[in-house]
Amino acid sequence: MRKIVFDIETKNTFQEVGSNRSEDLDISLLVIYDYKDQKYITYTEENMVDLWPILEDTDLLIGYNSDHFDIPLLNKYYPGDLTAVGSLDLLKEIRKSLGKGVRLDNVAEATIGVGKSGHGLQAIEWWKNGEIDKIEKYCKDDVKVTKDIYEYALKNKILKYKDLLDVVEIPMDTSDWDAKADAQSINYTLPF
């Protein structure tokens, strides 16, 4: 099974586009971790077409708030429908277990002892200032954190978060995570 962990950064804010729909934003860059090749790869608008064959060969997209934010936004650029690829949204899984959402930073700090290296609004400012290397590092760090909490949950069947001063365990039922991979194959950009 081919799994991809990914995260997207944008060029603009919801306020700037006058909408709260992620697909109304524009991607500055995105980073994936490909379990098949065990490496991180960065994509911008200029080389995003190189991402499509990888996604079309992917069984499971793993992200944090990815079903609500990242996949709809990336779908705007993709010539097909990325919802045909299996998806595991860790925030959605946390909500299912806990009954509420928790910020990635809180989960990462409590679970793996490493928080996020910035926040999305900083990434937009870096974009406006032409500091692409900072966006890439921040996005890659988010992908690594997401990958690490995904692997922690698989191994330990829990995640953790800080609730004021207490660290709270979130039971995670990971039994169907691999089953979330959709059997549908897509090949909108491949020549066959």
According to DSSP, residue 50 is labeled G
Q: How far is CA 48 from CA 70, 102, 123, in A?
A: 14, 30, 19
What is the predicted pLDDT for the residue at 174?
Answer: 96
- % of the chain with per-residue pLDDT over 90: 81
Cα 42 from Cα 118, distance rounded (Å): 18
Q: Domain-by-domain residue ranges, the chain?
A: 3-99+117-151
Which contacts of 171-175 are long-range, i.e. CB under 8 A and separated by 24 or more positions?
Answer: 171/97, 172/93, 172/94, 172/97, 173/97
Q: Which CATH superfamily is domain 3-99+117-151 in?
A: Ribonuclease H-like superfamily/Ribonuclease H (3.30.420.10)
Q: Is 92 helix (H, G, I), strand (E, B) or coil?
A: helix
Q: What is the chain's mean pLDDT, rounded? A: 91
In this predicted structure, what is the pLDDT of residue 117?
61
Residue-level pLDDT at 180: 72
The HSE-up count of residue 32 (CA atoms within 13 Å, CB side) is 24
Cross-strand bridge partners of residue 160: 169
Is the model's pLDDT at 186 over the cut of 60? no
Cβ 149 vs Cβ 111: under 8 Å: yes
Q: What is the pLDDT of residues 82-106, one digit of tens each?
A: 988 999 999 999 999 999 999 999 9
Grade residue 192 by pLDDT with cuts at 50, 70 and 90: very low
Helix (H, G, I), strand (E, B) or coil at 191: coil
Q: What is the pLDDT of residues 125-176, one digit of tens each?
A: 999 999 999 999 999 999 999 999 999 999 999 999 988 889 999 999 999 9
Tokens of 105: 């930073």
Residue 189, both tokens: 């950009």
